[in-house]
A and B are shown apart, each in its own frame.
Chain A
Amino acid sequence: MAEGVSKRWGSTQALMSATFTIGPGITGLLGANGAGKTTLLTLILGLHKPDGGSMAVLGVDPFRAGAAMRARIGYAPEHDALPPDVVAQDLVRHMAEIHGLPHRVATARASDALYEVGLGEERFRPIGTMSTGQRQRVKLAQAIVHDPALVLLDEPTNGLDPMQRDEMLGLIRHVGADLGLDVVLSSHLLDEVERVSDSVVIIDAGRAVAGGRLDDLRRMGEDELVVELDIGAVEPGDVVARLAAAGVAAMMDGPRIIVALEAPSVYDAVRDVLAESGAGLRSLRRRTRSLEDVFLASGASGYADGLVPLTS
């Protein structure tokens, strides 16, 4: 939980009164490059002290708790951080020991973690001989090997091709959903946050501009109905006029009609109007918002700064 957290690096205001709560499950930390996501992760790790505001991670102040708290956190940085001349199994075991696991347990869990990320057969290879995708998996393995209470993944799909990216997102979902670890996934890619996250915090220019469970955010648009008609049978404008005459607020949205769902009786009114007009109904559904809609509604200015929309 963060309350009014600010952090400045020299003349750059990285975070500005950011207030948000990260709950269980997988939380996407969404924002454009330079929005302050990595700064936020370092504050969660207790590596820096916020200039203002307060934070609680796993129930403690991360900067004060420091080492003891970091033993319960797994972290995979955005950049390459693995020594190429070390065998994957040795590195992952070493990181487990660093996080407090006894040697024998660390050795066993290193194998398990590497199997879990799909590197069971490759675990005795030097990291330098591995592909980018495999190295990202090793980073994930070293972040989960010590059974952390919280896993922080900073842009985990950086440098991956589309297939590797899909596999990595699948692994992250597996870590969160099947292994039951709470994950914070930092990304500037809307679709990957939408695909794997249960919750989202949107960061824009150092501020947390929106946040919450994705289902809740999507449902915020459910006070509207989307009506799609068969093209050519009836003019949509005609239907909108008939709805208005029946006391139902409606508007055109391209080929669709958006109807305000003010009361359950609106369903009956729409049915009656469509039947009277002879329009062919293609679909009738409650409106749900995509993460992109949520992002745009938050007022964040990410696209200009490198945030990748769903359509890219």
Chain B
Amino acid sequence: MRPVEARIFDEGYRRYDGTRRGEAAAVRSLWAHTVQRIMGLRRSARHKVLPFVSVVIAYLPAVAFIGILSLLPADRTRDFVPSYPQYYGFISAAILLFVVFSAPEALCPDRRYRSLSLYLASPLTRDTYLLAKAAAVGTVLTFVTTGPQLLLLVGYVLENHGPHGPQGVLLMFVRILGAGLTMAAFYTAFSLALSSLTDRRGLATGASLIVLAGSQAVTGALVFGFGLPSALLLFNLNLAPYELAVRILGGHRRLLMLPSTSTAVVALVCLIWTVVGAIAVWARYQRLQVTR
């Protein structure tokens, strides 16, 4: 009689003797889970609307400009399509949307539904938990601060709209990455800091909008209304990271809001804002009482 080969596919619950990945894998898993959550993946359709709209706002103009470049003669489009720094003007709304809903979505539910106690009972610590959350928010923000410009770079190069030569392309690639990552880091720290103060997503989103709009209104009134030094505009949280990003991208002087302020000062102020935000969220989570 021929022996029959049989396999049991459903063994049920059993002991696990395989390798266990360490803390880094836990951080990666939480990062991936949080990115999915922010983007509405594996969730109902209504959670996908806002991220989808933001992505469309960020990428659609780039696709349109590349299409225009490919369809119309070069002499008619040369002055029509935006430069890399100018493109921020088209995607600032998408960036704003991502800034105000990403961090609240990443941080608030874990405290509201008290899932944080499950995470802290795992190999994650408060620090590694925050690292994963910050990386997730940063990843999502980078998707809109860097992705559209990279798409533009590919399109412009293919349509011979510049930059020219391998060195020029590489330099612009690095500039786009630098500008996008800088802006993402700035807004990640800012939005996480505000989101750490409440467990309500709506409140955190509202607070982010108010602080962004408030800083713009107050600094604008002080500089343009009372004639105070224009450097005060660096306290405008809507302006400071863009000012730095435009400079990193090598934008023309006329695109700058603070042409008389050195790039080093702008970079230093942005760095201080980023560090202050990061310390604020870190300090908040060190004091947070999760279980007793």
Contact = CB atoms under 8 A, between A and B. Distances in A.
B123 A84 contact: no
B25 A97 contact: yes
Nearest to B16: A147
A185 to B, nearest CB: 16
A87 B23 contact: no
A306 interface: no
Contacts of A72: 20
Q: Which range holds the interface residue count of chain B?
A: 35 or more
Interface stretch (B41-49, B90-98, B172-180, B266-274): B41-49
B2 interface: no
A102 interface: yes
B111 to A, nearest CB: 11
Contacts of A87: 42
B137 to A, nearest CB: 17
B22 interface: yes
B20 A73 contact: no
B121 A75 contact: yes
Count chain B CB atoms within 10 A of each CB in A42, A73, A146 and give the residue with the most.
Answer: A42
Per DSSP, are chain A's interface residues mostly helix, strand or loop, or mixed? mixed
Contact of B12 (A45, A82, A97, A116): A116
Given A82-B113, A84-B113, A98 B20 contact: no
B268 to A, nearest CB: 36
A155 to B, nearest CB: 13
Interface in B41-92: 42-44, 47
A182 to B, nearest CB: 13
Contact of A85 (B20, B29, B44): B44
A81 B114 contact: yes
Interface in A57-98: 66-68, 70-73, 75, 77, 79-87, 90, 94-95, 97-98
A100 interface: yes
A77 B290 CA distance: 11
Interface string B141-177: 0000000000000000000000000000000000000
A47 B100 CA distance: 32
Contacts of A68: 22-23, 123
B23 to A, nearest CB: 5
B13 A112 contact: yes
Count chain A CB atoms within 10 A of each CB in B29, B44, B120, B124 and give the residue with the most.
Answer: B29
Given A112-B12, A147-B15, A98 B291 contact: no
B30 A66 contact: no
Contacts of A81: 113-115, 117-118
Contacts of B113: 80-84
B260 interface: no
B263 interface: no
B13 A100 contact: no
A71 B123 contact: yes
A66 B291 CA distance: 15
Contacts of A77: 114, 117-118, 121, 291
A146 B16 contact: yes
A79 B124 contact: no
A109 interface: yes
A237 to B, nearest CB: 54
Count chain A CB atoms within 10 A of each CB in B19, B109, B117, B128 and give the residue with the most.
Answer: B117
Given A66-B125, A85-B47, A87-B42, A98 B114 contact: no
B286 interface: no
Contacts of B43: 85-86
Given A14-B292, A47-B291, A68-B123, A75 B118 contact: yes
B287 interface: no
Interface string B269-292: 000000000000000000000111
Given A77-B114, A105-B16, A97 B29 contact: yes
Contact of B118 (A38, A95, A109): A95
A101 B20 contact: yes
Interface in A30-59: 38-39, 41-42, 45, 47
Contacts of B118: 75, 77, 81, 95, 142
A74 to B, nearest CB: 8
Contact of B16 (A79, A109, A180): A109
Given A77-B118, A100-B21, A100-B22, 17 more contacts: A14-B292, A47-B291, A67-B22, A67-B23, A67-B123, A68-B123, A72-B20, A85-B109, A86-B42, A94-B29, A97-B26, A100-B20, A100-B25, A112-B13, A116-B12, A142-B118, A144-B13
14 contacts: A38-B291, A67-B22, A67-B23, A73-B121, A77-B114, A77-B118, A81-B114, A83-B110, A95-B118, A98-B124, A101-B20, A112-B13, A112-B14, A142-B118
Interface of B: 11-16, 18-23, 25-26, 29-30, 33, 42-44, 47, 109-110, 113-115, 117-125, 128, 290-292
